[in-house]
């Protein structure tokens, strides 16, 4: 019984609240000039993820080479 009410609550959060939070103007961020801030933050996050993946790949490659040398 509690799982179904919890599920209904989360469905309400996902479906109903975003519909009520929409503004009348679809270009709201563009009209106030904040779209560039949003794009810059998204680009910074993706750049950070990309750099982390490159760093991680180099580290794993180095460890693989060490394992091959020890065998």
pLDDT tens-place values along the chain, 71 residues long: 556 666 666 666 676 655 555 556 667 767 787 888 889 999 999 999 999 999 999 999 999 999 999 98
Handedness of CA 5, 6, 10, 11 (dihedral sign): negative
So what's the pLDDT on residue 38? 87
Tokens 């939070």 sit at which residue?
21
Contacts (Cβ under 8 Å, ≥6 apart) of 31: 25
Predicted confidence at residue 10, as pLDDT, reads: 65
């Amino acid at each position: 019984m509690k799982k179904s009410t919890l599920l209904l609550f989360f469905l309400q959060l996902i479906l109903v609240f975003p519909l009520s939070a929409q503004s009348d103007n679809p270009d709201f961020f563009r009209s106030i000039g904040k779209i560039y801030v949003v794009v810059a933050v998204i680009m910074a996050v993706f750049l950070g993820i990309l750099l982390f993946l490159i760093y991680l790949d180099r580290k794993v490659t180095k460890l693989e080479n060490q394992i091959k040398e020890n065998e």
